[in-house]
């Protein structure tokens, strides 16, 4: 099994713990994403990271877990969206660094939270009251140049493991 991990979760606190989201329902057989969660008093949990691979889950959403600590259902939404971008393999190091710096500058200027997995994948939290026009322009230019691919994580609904 291959794990997708969050080394620096956007909402991490000492009291949070890790649960898992099976990525097989999204075409990623044999992969599991470790999600940081905050336990709520009613047995549910609030997502405290920005998902890199799971669909239909965003920062702040409320989820339930099964007996094996896998996310089984999204029961409440924070109405946040996750925008993800991955750089294509083989992008020269200088181009990669400049593109990543551009994304970091734009997310910082817009006050958006982001998480990076290595230097090639970024997940950005877009709250419901924010229109990320500048970030979309930066990412769109990278995609148009053939340097990256991007997607919204709500392009598919969440699906629990079978």
pLDDT score of 11:
79
Cβ atoms of 90 and 162 closer than 8 Å: no
Establish if 162 belongs to a structural domain: no
Q: How many domains does the chain have?
A: 2
pLDDT (average), residues 57-66:
97
Tokens of 138: 């930066």
| Statement: residue 75 has pLDDT above 90 | yes
Structural domain that includes position 55: 2-76
List the CATH number of the domain containing 128. 3.30.70.600
pLDDT score of 1:
80
Confidence of residue 152 (pLDDT cuts 50, 70, 90): very high
In which residue are the tokens 């990543």 written? 100
The domain boundary, picked from 49, 76, 103, lies at 76
pLDDT score of 110:
94
Establish if 59 belongs to a structural domain: yes
Model pLDDT for residues 100-151, shown as the tens digit of each residue: 999 999 999 999 999 999 999 999 999 999 999 999 999 999 999 999 999 9
- How many angstroms separate the first and last alpha carbons of the chain? 16
| Statement: residue 7 has pLDDT above 90 | no
| Statement: residue 14 has pLDDT above 70 | no
Q: Closest by alpha carbon to 52, among 110, 2, 90? A: 2
Tokens of 82: 């996750």
Q: Are residues 38 and 86 in the same domain?
A: no
DSSP assignment of 7-35 equals: SS-TT--TT-EEEEEE-GGGT-TTEEEEE
Q: Are residues 67 and 85 in the same domain?
A: no
């Amino acid at each position: 099994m291959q794990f997708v991990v969050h080394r620096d979760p956007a909402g991490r606190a000492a009291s949070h713990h890790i649960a898992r989201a099976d990525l097989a329902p999204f075409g990623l057989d044999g992969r599991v994403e470790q999600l940081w969660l905050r336990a709520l008093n009613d047995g549910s949990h609030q997502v405290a990271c920005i998902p890199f691979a799971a669909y239909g889950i965003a920062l702040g959403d409320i989820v339930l877990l099964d007996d094996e600590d896998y996310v089984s259902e999204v029961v409440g939404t924070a109405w946040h969206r996750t925008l993800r971008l991955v750089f294509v393999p083989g992008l020269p190091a200088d181009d990669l660094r400049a593109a990543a710096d551009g994304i970091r500058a734009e997310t910082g200027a817009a006050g958006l939270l982001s998480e990076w997995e290595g230097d090639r994948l970024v997940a950005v939290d877009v709250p419901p009251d924010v229109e990320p026009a500048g970030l979309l322009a930066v990412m769109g230019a990278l995609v148009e140049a053939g340097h990256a691919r991007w997607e919204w994580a709500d392009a598919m609904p969440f699906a629990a493991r079978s």
